[in-house]
Amino acid sequence: MKIKFWGVRGSIASPINGKMVEQKIREVLKLASPADILSPESIDRFLQTLPYSLKGTYGGNTTCIELITEEDQTIIIDAGTGLRQLGKSLVDNGKMTGKGEISIFLSHSHWDHIQGLMFFLPIYFKGNKIKFYSSVENLEERLRYQQIKTHFPLTLDEMAADKIFNHFPEGVTEELYGLEFTSKAVRHPGGCFSYKFTQPDGKSFVFCSDAEFSIETMDNIEAYIEYFRNADVLVFDTQYTFEESLQKIDWGHSSAAIATDIAIKSNVKKLILFHHEPFYDDAKMDLVTINAFKYKDMTAPSHFLKIETAYEGMEIDI
């Protein structure tokens, strides 16, 4: 399977502004020498040396991940504002223009995870089939409520595509497009579910955002470690720094340090830091990444775990 990130931010969409772009240009110009800008090739070489915060941006859209199966079927995880561009890309590629089918898994119904649905172009094409999967029992009711006329001009029924709602209870394993999937409830205000997808060859992808973990105080931590065990890729809520996570108990999010501890205990191969704090700019996200590397090197230097920070457009083959 292939994973593509369309929205990586937590809580609220947070695009960068003109001042931030100007600041990046200023920093880059300070770093460049005359030799760096002599030719297109030297410029390319120079760009490669820059930190990610200067040559790009982690992105401001909220949670939306695309999973493309070996059978070339699309599964979407969460419908944050990143879903808008994913929908446009599907239509532009002729995939969802009236005869297409995709499945959308929703972890919970906080705004930052459902707000993109009304701007998802494929849902307006008659003949498209959109299958919703969730361990949230009354998901359809919640999505209908989001679109009553006082909140949005069109109701769910006025969107032309066929919409099919599938509830599956926590912990049950089912199959879709050649993948096995299951869910596990996580600690988060209002409730939230993590989803795990496993290929026939055993390779697995776990999405676990909007989740507050504490290794010391959680009685059932072993059950989670078993659930995450040997995952090839684990996308984990790391909205806070470690210090913030100690202050923001019960806010429903975790830190990169806690995520790293859990990933190491579970023998995860790759940990993706995700659901970034909206007040963190790109320079701060570079720092979060560096601190996560340092923490891992300090606590488990010989473990094979790789850590990366999610950014819009990031792709991973599993």
Q: Which is nearer to Zn ion, 147 or 209 (CB)?
A: 209
Q: Which is nearer to Zn ion, 212 or 282 (CB)?
A: 212
Residues forming the site for Zn ion (CB under 5 A): 10, 110, 112, 210
Q: How far is the CB of 58 from Zn ion (least distance, A)?
A: 15
Q: How far is the CB of 207 from Zn ion (least distance, A)?
A: 12
Q: Which is nearer to Zn ion, 106 or 179 (CB)?
A: 106
Q: Which is nearer to Zn ion, 10 or 122 (CB)?
A: 10
| Nearest alpha carbon to residue 273 among 154, 262, 109, 69 | 262
Output phi, psi for 309, to 5 deg: -100, 130
Q: How far is the CB of 57 from Zn ion (least distance, A)?
A: 19
Q: Which residue is nearest to Zn ion (CB)?
A: 110
Q: How far is the CB of 78 from Zn ion (least distance, A)?
A: 8
Q: Which is nearer to Zn ion, 113 or 196 (CB)?
A: 113
Q: How far is the CB of 193 from Zn ion (least distance, A)?
A: 11
